[in-house]
Chain A
Amino acid sequence: MTGPLDIGIEGIGVWSAQLPSWDAGRAILCGNVDNVAGAGTRPAPSLLAPTERRRAQEAVLIAIEVAQQACTMAARDPRELPNVFASAYGDLQINDYLCATLARDPKDMSPTKFHNSVHNAPAGYWSIATGCMASSTALSAGAATFGAGLLEAALLAHSESCPVLLAAYDIAAVGPLADIVPCRAAFAVALVLAPPSQRAMARLLLQCEHAAAELAPEADVLHASCRDNPAARSLPLLTCLARRTPGTQLLAAGPALNLRMEIMF
């Protein structure tokens, strides 16, 4: 890159069994408390009608929850934001259902489950829930999915000169998939990224580095259960944002590619 990519963070959302929201989770990330109210419950994003909320698959629910948190904090209309949804494994529950059904009785497949199996299902439900017709992307980059998603969203914000929503999520592997997919607990994170302005609560200078480098240490709060969730790679950054401590971190964006992130307030 010719110079670092200069990006503002306007909004943050987070959801895991330990971190039910950015507002509540910040105290944990700051190390002030061990647990907070609402922890361990299923998220209930108000964007979805109660029946949709009950029906929604976990991957869709947690992605929409964090996306809504981040847009609310940024005071941005979700309808206006191009969005990037990043997930390493997609909907592991539905993939387990599809593969088990095909092995048992292929003609028994549920049409709803099939169309919900696409990797961009959360992105699709987000656009339907918000009425957002802007560009919408769903991507995957294995263990480096959060870093690759951050790069994609930052480039979009930079090249289109507009705020962009990034949501990264993965859920726990179920059934035989658990033999090959290490993800053991759900984790979702969202950021509203935009060209730097007064609205930003923090600023990131992003640069690509190609030498193998040491990554940021895992945050204290990185519970063992979500260590292998690619979306939880965001925790060192989230911790820094919660504590408002400027610093530099490295984030994997590929097997031989790191993002050097200078975090400023």
Chain B
Amino acid sequence: MVAATSRIAAPRRTKLYWRIAFSCITRLLSRIPPLAITAFTATSAAGRGVDALALALAQRKSGLVENDFGPAPLACWIGQVPGLDDICLPAPLANWESRNNRLAWLGLNQDGFRARALAAIDRYGSARVALVLGTSTSSIGETERAYRELDADGHMNAFQRTNRAHQTHALGAFVQEALGINGPCVTIATACSSSAKVFASAERLLRSGLADAAIVGGVDSLCGSVLFGFNSLQLVSPQPCRPFDVERNGLSLGEAAGFALLESITVDKTASRLIGYGESADAHHMSAPHPQGLGAQRALQDALARAAITPADVDYINLHGTASRQNDEVEAALIARTFPATTLASSTKGWSGHTLGAAGIVEAVVALLAIERGLVPGTLNAQVLDPACGPQIKIDNQERNVRVALSNSFGFGGNNCCVAFAAADA
């Protein structure tokens, strides 16, 4: 990380050959051993499981609907996962009740992921599997409900007093109990970068030998806090979000769950790989990005260095692309100045909405689908791209052989993460 500071600051001071030499050395020093992603799944408004997501992407079918969430819905569009109200947690897990945990349970049961996770736990032993999950608001929707149902004296009702979901770690603890994991378990909560950073924490756990496999992922669900909170910041669009469109006017909020299983590449040499990640902070503002995107750039450069790749090696980037005026302008400029025209880039939030703490994992899954199925999604709902966009950002879908894909996630607090994936033979 100290080296990374010098990397960013260096170009102003040093001559070209020193810069090249320095960049080669840091690239070699910071390279991480790749990990196999032996299973992955995502559930969002764009569909339950990866096949439904891939179909929605290919058919350019948005999951956004007019907002009817909660007692007094705002006039906006949301990426709601249908059927969540009908899901019941298994009886032994009933005291983890929340919309967020029901979504976690639904997500775990797609694509056979739960069976794959249980098989890994069986194979390595429950103490040798780590669990690292990301969320922004965890189960606060349940706490909101508890406040609507206070008794006459202003206290929580009997059910809520036994409900364990009223804490940030409700997500990690619920999934830990659901799967029977006894290894390291933590919930990362850095707003919208949460479930991108899980790849970094899990990689460190595996590299140190503290675990043999890691289940990573993220879950965030619609709730009053985020709908009315983003609305109070005037960041919510009254229409379906239009990332990178010149007339974009805000985001559409969504909800999602996604998971991935990370193991040594010796276990499955054909699986797609985690090859790098970069984490940084903007040191600028709580809810606005750094105007020159310096924090995002640092995370991106760090991810490229750890993957030991150059911008020209990157075939596809799933952008953060929330459709907020500022984020998209800053991110578009970063992509335009960093990558060649051959790199494709897009935001898929027109399909799913901004799923906040789950955005990292859902968009990692989109990047993995691009690698494994050659499907490069464009930017749904964008009609005329902002002039800040370079030739990389595409409106239309393309079919392309993708060997290396990145995913960007940036959150409140100026928290940035970029994750790099590659095909098995890349």
Contacts and interface: CB of A to CB of B under 8 A. Distances in A.
Interface of A: 1-2, 5, 79-82, 87-90, 95, 98-100, 102-103, 106-107, 109-111, 114-121, 123-125, 127-128, 130-142, 145, 148, 151-152, 155-156, 158-160, 162, 175-177, 179-181, 208, 210, 253-257
Contact of A115 (B147, B184, B284, B412): B412
B414 A124 contact: yes
Contact of B172 (A5, A114, A135, A141): A141
Given A111-B233, A141-B172, A155-B208, A99 B143 contact: yes
B13 interface: no
B294 to A, nearest CB: 7
B298 A124 contact: no
Contact of B295 (A79, A133, A180): A133
A14 B128 CA distance: 33
A133 B154 contact: no
A231 to B, nearest CB: 14
A2 B156 CA distance: 47
Given A102-B147, A102-B224, A155-B204, 5 more contacts: A103-B144, A120-B191, A134-B280, A135-B1, A159-B204
Interface in B227-253: 228-234
A100 B144 CA distance: 8
Contacts of A151: 184, 210
A181 B166 CA distance: 8
A210 B402 CA distance: 41
Interface in B276-332: 279-287, 294-295, 298
27 contacts: A90-B168, A95-B143, A99-B143, A102-B224, A102-B228, A103-B147, A111-B229, A111-B233, A114-B233, A118-B412, A118-B413, A123-B413, A127-B281, A127-B283, A130-B283, A136-B413, A138-B413, A139-B186, A140-B167, A140-B189, A148-B186, A155-B205, A158-B208, A176-B147, A177-B166, A179-B155, A254-B185
Contacts of A102: 144, 147-148, 224-225, 228
B190 A120 contact: yes
Interface in B152-196: 154-156, 160-161, 163, 166-169, 172-173, 176, 182-191
Contacts of B415: 120, 123-124, 136, 138
A128 B285 CA distance: 7
B197 interface: yes
A201 B182 CA distance: 33
Interface in B3-24: 4-5, 8
B333 interface: no
Contact of B190 (A137, A155, A175): A137
Contacts of B280: 133-136
A176 B185 contact: no
A210 B234 CA distance: 48
Nearest to A134: B1
Contact of A257 (B166, B183, B189, B190): B183
A22 to B, nearest CB: 25
A141 B233 CA distance: 30
Contact of B143 (A131, A132, A141, A177): A177
Contacts of B144: 98-99, 102-103
Contact of B5 (A80, A177, A257): A80
A92 to B, nearest CB: 10
B364 to A, nearest CB: 18
B185 A88 contact: no
